[in-house]
Amino acid sequence: MPWPTLLQTDGHLPEQASLDEWYAQLLARVGQCSAPELAVLGGRLAATPGLAFLAGYQSALRVLWPSAPRSLGALCATENRSVRPADMHTRLDGLSLNGRKDFVTAASAADWLLVAAREEAPGEGVKLALGVVRNGAPGVRVERLPALPLVPDIDHGRLHLEDAQCERLPGDGWDAYVKPFRSIEDTYVLTALCAWLSGIGQRCAWPQPVQLRLLGVLAGCAEVTRLPPAAPATHLMLAGVYAQFASLETELDAAFAAGPAQWAGLWARDKGILQLAAVARAKRLEKAKVALGLG
């Protein structure tokens, strides 16, 4: 990681009328860079935690699918609040997708969509594939849903598929994509939000111990990005950086309270985004401890 460049990047990109315009502006600013660099720079340049989240999420998608287009994308797996393959009803027959996905991040702006779908033959065990479709292509419709309380500037929607033609990505849809993405997303979203906090801390002259501890979390995240996402040791290390970040809560609240109300209000509204996957992370941690003989 080119830390001097990343840490000296200051200022916020102006918010745009649409998320794809903001993201295009971000890419124009940062140029060609690695996924970890995109998460850090996106976080530093984001005016809100929601936009920092978006940068981290897009970085994670590019780790999952290195050949992804430069435009905004989304992974669509959730059906009825579950990502378990056995709970999915969306199906891939040949290269045709039919079904519904209940959560599309950045629904109004996502250009391409990774869709998890079942493809096993009758009588076979559940088998998952991952197909790619373009938003607005024949048979592909995204229904925009009301804003959520967390990161309301990043909209979401529901995906409807009717005989939608797709490109099938190689490999098993669960083991190669949906399952590892949980840890990848957790890593890159934490990276981007810590970068956002670090930028606010420098701008508002937060106490040096707080700023340095945020940098420590960023360094830990950078190490996790180097590890295979499905490995037990990765889950243990990721839990470690999340615990390190959680220990900052009191100091962060105090730092925000002593500064401009604008930043404090944004953080109070959106910080819960990091807790949405806490239960799943805890389960992965316990499995990792057992696998490593630490349980």
Res 23: pLDDT: 97
Res 194: pLDDT: 97
Return all residues near 60 (Cβ < 8 A) that are at least 6 apart. Answer: 35, 39, 181, 184, 185, 187, 188, 189
Contact 126, 118 (CB under 8 A): yes
Percent of the chain with pLDDT over 70: 99
Mean pLDDT of all residues belonging to the chain? 95
70 CB neighbour count, 10 Å cutoff: 12
Nearest to 52 by CA among 206, 219, 204, 190: 190
Q: What is the pLDDT of residues 226-267, one digit of tens each?
A: 999 999 999 999 999 999 999 999 999 999 999 999 999 999
Res 68: pLDDT: 97
Instruction: Please say if the pLDDT value at position 21 is more than 70.
Output: yes
Hey, where are the domains in the chain? 3-64+176-291, 73-168
pLDDT band for position 270 (cuts 50, 70, 90): very high
Instruction: Please say if the pLDDT value at position 6 is more than 80.
Output: no
* 162-170 average pLDDT score: 98
CATH topology classification for 73-168: Butyryl-CoA Dehydrogenase, subunit A; domain 2 (2.40.110)
Half-sphere exposure of 28 (CA within 13 A, CB side): 7
Res 123: pLDDT: 87
Res 1: pLDDT: 65
Return all residues near 283 (Cβ < 8 A) that are at least 6 apart. Answer: none
CA 260/CA 244 separation, integer angstroms: 25
Kindly report the pTM of this predicted structure: 0.96
Q: What is the pLDDT of residues 49-98, one digit of tens each?
A: 999 999 999 999 999 999 999 999 999 999 999 999 999 999 999 999 99
Res 135: pLDDT: 97
Instruction: Please say if the pLDDT value at position 17 is more than 90.
Output: no
CA 26/CA 242 separation, integer angstroms: 26
Contact 291, 232 (CB under 8 A): yes
Q: What is the pLDDT of residues 182-237, one digit of tens each?
A: 999 999 999 999 999 999 999 999 999 999 999 999 999 999 999 999 999 999 99
Q: What is each CA distance from 23 to 16, 135, 137, 161, in whole angstroms?
A: 9, 17, 22, 26
